[in-house]
Structure 1
Amino acid sequence: MKTKYLSLGLITAFVVLSSCIVLKQNEKPTLFLIGDSTVKNGKGKGDGSLWGWGSFIGELFDTNKINVENDALGGTSSRTFQTNGLWEPVLAKIKKGDFVMMQFGHNDSSPLDDTARARGTIKGIGTESKDTFNPIKKKQETVYTYGWYLRKYINDIKAKGGIPIVCSSIPRNPVKDGKVVLANDSYAKWAEEVAKAENVDFIPLNQLIKDNYAAANADLVKTYFTEKDHTHTNEAGAKLNASLVVAGLKTLKNSKLNNYLK
């Protein structure tokens, strides 16, 4: 009989301990990443030697204190990440105190209504819109500006008690004829303008990377990309970009996300 009670006691203790561990896990905040293939290329396993920075940024955080979830998907724009049903399941998981880092822009310059993707957004951050026929979904769709979609993410995150962080998109391979030729990026400027207007944290990732490239030489910068792709980084380039995301984060002195860095 004593053995029976002892066994029951051990089982009860195990269940309680397991519950506490699960509860502790659930108490940890989560850093959600949303964006395009420059955040997560393919399934995030280096297909074609291409990587997004989101695949490595978790290595720079103390994952005993915070979860890092990369929900980015290649080919998406700020528009299609919402309209193709990718945002809703992420939003459903966000709880008070979670962080959402977003980086869109590369695909927003695409046509609004082409038969391949229909993923473009209206240029700028205004409130204008355009009713257009979406040939992919075969129905009418109201398309808004790049800034409108960013504000939608920000407002949704705030409504859930989450903390939005906007990143400007990474630059493309700037090496031309053996020289580093850096170009201005309108989407980087618009991302910053939206973040400032909405009073949320902004990481000037585009500029941080360009500054790094400018201080390097063309031969070194070329090692961050594959020979056949001028947009997506390889592992070395993705790790560099992840480190610069964190460098930018550290300049945000009031960001609570800094508490979870290694």
Structure 2
Amino acid sequence: MNYLIFILSLLAFTPKTKPTLYLIGDSTVKAGQGKGENDMWGWGSVIGQHFDSTKIDIENYAIGGRSSRTFLTDGRWEPILKKMQKGDFLIIQFGHNDDWAINDTIRARGTIKGIGLDSVEIDNLITKKHEVVYSFGWYMSKYVNEAKAKGVEVFVCSQVPFNKFENGKVKRQEEYYPKWAKQVAENTKAHFIDLHELSAFYYDKLGFDETKKQYFTPKDNVHTNLAGAKLNAENVAIGIKNTKKSKLRKSLK
């Protein structure tokens, strides 16, 4: 019995042989349980196809319906942060659910637009708790800075494009989450992957109808099918590959 306890104690303190790539985000990174329910797939569920599993582990903690704010206030971030070790990696992609009401009885998940330091105090109509709500950039910067403090290499992704067209092209907005994600990456010295533009490039060539047919579910123009998830995952991998100062590149196939 004592021998068994000794062996277990040794295993508990054995350092990891491989780093871990952590993913956090919303349903466009992991839809449902990540197994294609209702034909919906997030790119985080298929990104492993681009990595050498002998060199890195991947843990996808993205969850549907969360914004950069509610992923934190739900208590999901702290356990992940505790697990992280020097030499690990983190990819963050939020934005879709941040564009929501800050306080209502439906979701109450919105953040203040932009990357400023302004805040607003609310009595949350869902949680019934007093809460200070910050900007999208504030929450994103918190994730980046806290992970980097542990020696983790961080990538910020701009949100995936939806199948929403304007004047024959995917709709872009100057003051919107892709821009703010880039600014967060620049301000925190994190890596940036412009996933929004990388995938929109392909959508632009196809147009609304063909993009819908090839890459999206019948349900809506937000959630991708398996082919759409694979396209976004491939573009994330391209973004990593093109980040010359990243150690994560070495784990790509």
Equivalent of 2:172, from 172, 184, 187? 184
Structure 2 residue aligned with 1:3: none
Which ranges in structure 1 are unaligned for 5 or more consecutive residues? 1-14
| 1:41-88 C-alpha deviation (Å, 9 max, x unpaired) | 011011100000000001110011100110000000000000101111
How far residue 161 of structure 1 moved from its aligned partner, in angstroms, is 1.2
Letter in 2 for 1:252: T
Matched, 1:258 2:249: yes
Matched, 1:54 2:44: yes
* TM-score in terms of structure 2 length: 0.91
* TM-score in terms of structure 1 length: 0.88
DSSP-derived class of the 2:154 partner:
strand
CA distance in 2, matches of 1:244, 1:207: 10
DSSP-derived class of the 2:215 partner:
coil
DSSP-derived class of the 1:33 partner:
strand
Matched, 1:104 2:63: no
Give the % identical residues.
Answer: 52
CA distance in 2, matches of 1:115, 1:91: 30
DSSP-derived class of the 2:21 partner:
strand
How far residue 219 of structure 1 moved from its aligned partner, in angstroms, is 4.3
DSSP-derived class of the 1:202 partner:
strand
Matched, 1:116 2:116: no
DSSP-derived class of the 2:170 partner:
coil
CA distance in 2, matches of 1:175, 1:118: 27
CA distance in 2, matches of 1:210, 1:32: 25
CA distance in 2, matches of 1:259, 1:216: 33
Structure 1 residue aligned with 2:138: 148
Matches within 5 A, 1:178-257: 180-185=168-173, 186-222=176-212, 223-257=214-248
Letter in 1 for 2:79: P
Cα pair 2:165 2:171 within 8 Å, conserved = no
How far residue 36 of structure 1 moved from its aligned partner, in angstroms, is 0.1
Equivalent of 1:36, from 16, 26, 31? 26
Structure 1 residue aligned with 2:162: 172
Runs of 4+ aligned residues of structure 1 deviating over 4 Å after TM superposition are none
Letter in 2 for 1:128: D
How far residue 124 of structure 1 moved from its aligned partner, in angstroms, is 0.5
Q: CA RMSD in A?
A: 2.1
| 1:103-132 C-alpha deviation (Å, 9 max, x unpaired) | 000000110011111110000100000001
Cα pair 1:250 1:258 within 8 Å, conserved = yes
Matched, 1:70 2:69: no
Cα pair 1:175 1:221 within 8 Å, conserved = no
CA distance in 1, matches of 2:116, 2:46: 34
Letter in 2 for 1:244: N
How far residue 229 of structure 1 moved from its aligned partner, in angstroms, is 1.1
Letter in 2 for 1:58: G
Cα pair 2:19 2:57 within 8 Å, conserved = yes
> Number of residue pairs matched?
244
CA distance in 1, matches of 2:143, 2:196: 20
CA distance in 2, matches of 1:119, 1:255: 32
